[in-house]
Amino acid sequence: MPYVNIQITQGATRAQKQALVKDVTASLAKHLGKKPEYTHVVIQEIADENWGFAGQLTDDWKRDQS
């Protein structure tokens, strides 16, 4: 039973998340022979203020890019 946890910052549309779940499920079936009916995909959306990289919180980084 594959379990895939995808963490992204907030902002993806429902359609984008739906396509992502479909593609990940199909990829596991194609490359690893996993049955789609047993595949679980969880998308966790993290607020920009709760995600950091390169020594900055994502909301600060995005503000600095403007």
Q: Does 36 qualify as catalytic in the annotation?
A: no
The one catalytic residue in 1, 2, 25, 27 is 2
For strands 40-46 and 3-9, give the pairing: parallel
Looking from the CA of 6 toward its CB, the CA atoms found within 13 Å total: 16
For strands 52-53 and 40-46, give the pairing: unpaired
Catalytic sites, residue numbers? 2
